[in-house]
Amino acid sequence: QKEVEQNSGPLSVPEGAIASLNCTYSDRGSQSFFWYRQYSGKSPELIMFIYSNGDKEDGRFTAQLNKASQYVSLLIRDSQPSDSATYLCAVTGSARQLTFGSGTQLTVLP
Amino acid sequence: EAQVTQNPRYLITVTGKKLTVTCSQNMNHEYMSWYRQDPGLGLRQIYYSMNVEVTDKGDVPEGYKVSRKEKRNFPLILESPSPNQTSLYFCASSLRIGIGTEAFFGQGTRLTVV
């Protein structure tokens, strides 16, 4: 079982729709949860982090964390073509390593 | 400008020829790490370092070495590269590992071993 799992996609949504990206993790001692965006051939860049149960909103992005279910998600409202990228979920586990999922490829169709 | 700098950006080498990929950060970060990225496998951690002279293996350390003699530098060494080490490599640094601490990434090094 992978430590951090994401649906690889590809996920396609029309422009203006809500894109929902999901991630599960296996280490119950995990403390911090991150969402990175990576454009093709580029470095990952941080979108949001969350460490408490519940929702955290930043502009069009909302991260949701449920530690009991070991589940973290990212919602992108009013999706734009410029949001088309691979989204990486990352988790800081109890071993103090930052572990990434394999990423979900998102395409926003104009 | 705060940044993580990797060199070279692109490298083609032959099997068995030792190489070093350099990584330097100017943010006084304690934590540095190396990842490789392969299609469908995401970012996999090779080695990480909590501070100077403290390094530890990640998930895929075989065939790699690192050192952390100075806080700002964290070179990745391939003593005898093989074709299965062809990959996209990223160096990253964080102030520390902890709650909400962001990792900053270098530009990446695309390595091809023939």
Residue A39 phi, psi dihedral angles, 5° rounding:
-80, 155
Per residue in A75-109, pLDDT tens?
999 999 999 999 999 998 777 778 899 999 999 99
Q: What is the pLDDT along chain B (114 residues), one digit of tens a residue?
A: 889 999 999 999 999 999 999 999 999 999 999 999 998 888 999 999 999 999 999 989 999 999 999 999 999 999 999 999 999 999 999 987 766 678 899 999 999 999
Instruction: With beta carbons under 8 A apart, name residues in chain A contacting B103.
Output: 34, 44, 46, 90, 98
Test mutation, B25, B32, B99, B104, chain A, max A CBs within 10 A: B99
Structure-token pair, residue B73: 């530098």
Per residue in A16-44, pLDDT tens?
999 999 999 999 988 899 999 999 889 99
Would the CB atoms of A100 and B33 count as touching at under 8 Å? no
Q: Are B94 and B101 in contact (CB under 8 A)?
A: yes
